[in-house]
Structure 1
Amino acid sequence: MTSPATANPLNTGRQAEVRKIKTQLSQIDQQLDVVVEEYNSASHSLNKTKSELKIVSAKLVEAEQESSQRQEAINKRVASLYRQGGLSYLEVLLSTSDLDQFLYCLELVERLADRDARIIADLKESKKEAAAYKTALVEKESAQQATVAELQAKKGNIQAQLNDRNKLLARIGREIAAERRAESRKQAQLRDKIKVSYNRGSSVSVSRGEGRSSAVGVAMGELGKPYSWGADGPGSFDCSGLTQYVYRQLGVSLPHSSRAQYNSGQRISRDDLESGDLVFFARGGSISHVGIYVGGGSFIHAPQTGDVVKISSLGSHGGYVGAVRP
């Protein structure tokens, strides 16, 4: 038996190198985790602004058309005062037989004129407000496009780091392969445990009703698919892309952003978690990760580059900040 004092220095050096590279990989993954979700959040906001801008532009066109139609109708009535034939406002007034009837008709004409004036004033104000809102949205869209462009540049830098990451992985390929085999066995055991629990209704599966708990079954079908930033299925996913995809199969629309998803339902305390709830995690003070709770303190998620959709425990991931029930 080899004692610590006579341990193979090559093995010791290899272990130190593996630990160092794993630390570097973890740092890259954390940076990517944050930037990808920043990008997803910014893209979601930009798409929302574009939708608002499209609606406001359509309303502005409608307001302009309605204003033109109203103005044309009023112009025709005014012109009738000067046309021969037919009854004009002036002819109505002059055809009255007594003072009371004349005053009544005069009041009626004034009311029509006042109504027309109010209609035109209201339409002009609506057009003015819509135009101002459109201008604000255009400015907002421009700022958000700049943010997305900046984040795309950051993603480019991260992509370069990912290339370095792959090189680092190649240096410790043997150790990583062994870890992945062990992780694969562990995932198979967890998957079987959850399937049995989900089918039999044990304590691991907290809720077995329709709706949210069905999300667990859908998510189980995505286990083992690769992580890819910006992906929302069906072949690969990032974290919020996975949760969006799963709930889309259930007819529930979620934004492709963990931060936006955090505001897409009822907040749930950790003690009240049920299967199908969304669970959120943060790095650097901002939400950057989301998964689907399956019960028993576990959740399904798309973790990071180089990994696959898998089952993890809430405690092992770290940074838990809360849960939402869509």
Structure 2
Amino acid sequence: MPLTAHIPSHRKPRRSASKVALRAGVAGGVLSTIGVAGAAGPANAEPVTATIEMPTITADLANTVAVSAEATQQVAHAYDLQAQQDEAAAKAAKAAKKDKAEAERKAEAEAKRKAEEAAKKKAAQEAAEKAAAEERASRSSERTTLSASASVGSSDSSSSSSTATGSAAAVVAFARAQVGDAYVSGGTGPNSWDCSGLTQAAFRTIGVDLPRVSQSQSTAGTQVGLDNLQPGDILYWGGAGSAYHVGIYVGGGNFVGAQNSGTGVVERPLSYDMPTGAVRVL
């Protein structure tokens, strides 16, 4: 037995013939496929000598893309906001135009109303002035007639003491001419009177200047009894020197006086409001 019989061999174990044949067949099939593919390709095809490199997405590129997208969104938002503002401005302009037209319409209507009111007031004032002028003319004519008749004397068939003559007739005529005038406290004419203002004005027509108030007029002449009255005597209500009302006896049992705001200047019988006493100035 040789000495190397127990030393293991360093050679690789031989492959079996079946495995070698199998591998050879596979290799042959691959080479055949490559040959067929080469025969089927274009005759002038050039071998690929360059490669195409795809861009590499880096962090900077990603940031740029993100910024661009955000900018696009901001622009779109700005356009949307501008559109909303334009629409709001258009609505506001339309509303302002409508309000202006309405304001102008109201102003025109108000101006028309004021013009109509002014025209009515003017017409009413002109009518009042015309009526007042006619009334003054009528009173003036009446006073002239009464004064003329008083100057030649007048008589009252109801009493022999009712005939007014001379200055007394002028006082009576003036008093009667004021019948229908208004009563106003403190009034001294020509169209409104209080009681003492009327008597003072009546006696002033004949040049007699009476005191202004009733208390003083009730003692301005000689005291006479109510059963001995003559036209032109001053009647008073209340005490002599403290009278609160006066009137003028016009004859026939009547007197003229500015009574109150309800009646104005009236001619009434003594029984209407019996006086307290009387004084004779003439």
Query: Structure 2 length as normaliser, TM-score?
Result: 0.42
Q: Which has the higher helix share?
A: 1
Comparing both chains, which one has the higher relative contact order based on Cα–Cα distances under 8 Å and sequence gaps of 6 or more? 1
